[in-house]
Amino acid sequence: MGVSEDMTERVAGVKSAIRVLEVLEFFARTPEPASLARVCAALGIPKSSGHALMETLRQQGYVYWLGRRQGYYPTRRWRDVGEAITRHDPILSLMSDVLHRISEESGETAILAKMEEHEVLYLDVVEPDRTLRFSANAGQIKSMHSAASGRALLALLDIEERSRVVNLLKLQAFSARTITDVDRLQQMIADGEEQGYHVVIGEHQSETTAIAVGFKLGTESYAFSVGGPTHRLEGRIEEVGRMLMRHAVAIAAVK
């Protein structure tokens, strides 16, 4: 059976969209102009495709040309568009102040997370002004089994749906402490549900601890999480957990 023309166009469209995002992420990692050859090497695409991509972005005002020696660099249009979108985000506008308060009260990184498919998506991150801190960024995707926010979100599912989702997860070991046994993971989720908050110590990254509480807002599930070095959080887990519970209850009551 042959591939339809419509399907071929959709696949090509998806690849093009991914490449645009890869260009943006490339320049975020490489804060300097880059030649066409360098961009193509980083994206793993032919120069002909790369030239068409970069010239399209240039014609739309998203990158500009600095000459052969320096190459391309993004314009501030990316930032302006991103800021305009963020200003009108219905969830972030509601949660931003709360997330800043969580970071201030804990002295650590505060995260707003949401379940997307069978993974955790970080919607917003507020980091403290400390050299040593839990590093995270908005848009980051994490595995549910090794993230405190992931377990908090799984705990919001009914038992049958939770079991179905947990059995679909790829229980990859990120450290020697990562839980990769389904039954043990289910028990950890249940234990966290009983105490009201979920704790992960050194499972995704050694010497880090994360504490999370899940909550419903409308029909959707979210989680507040605090992450930091284990030596700073190990004696404050209950305190931070109860603080997150207070904020979760307050935000869930907003109509």
Q: What pLDDT, in 10s, does the model give residues 52-107?
A: 999 999 999 999 999 888 999 999 998 888 888 877 777 878 888 999 999 999 99
Query: Given this model, what pLDDT does residue 170 score?
Result: 92
What span, in angstroms and rounded, lies between the C-alpha atoms of 189 and 165?
13
Choices 3.60.15.10, 2.60.120.380, 1.10.10.10, 3.40.50.300: CATH for 5-80: 1.10.10.10
Domain boundaries defined on the chain:
5-80, 89-252
One fold for 5-80 and 89-252: no
Per-residue tokens: 159:
């038992």
What span, in angstroms and rounded, lies between the C-alpha atoms of 41 and 113?
33
Query: Given this model, what pLDDT does residue 7 score?
Result: 45
Divide the 255 residues of the chain into consecutive groups of 10 and give the mean pLDDT of each group: 49 74 90 93 92 93 90 91 79 87 96 92 92 86 94 95 94 94 96 96 92 91 95 95 96 78
Query: Given this model, what pLDDT does residue 6 score?
Result: 54
Measured CA to CA in angstroms, residue 148 lies from 79, 120, 126, 134, 153 at distances of 31, 10, 17, 13, 9
Which CATH superfamily includes the segment(s) 89-252? GAF domain (3.30.450.40)
Query: Given this model, what pLDDT does residue 13 score?
Result: 54
Query: Given this model, what pLDDT does residue 234 score?
Result: 92
Query: Given this model, what pLDDT does residue 93 score?
Result: 80
What span, in angstroms and rounded, lies between the C-alpha atoms of 36 and 195?
54
Query: Given this model, what pLDDT does residue 255 score?
Result: 61
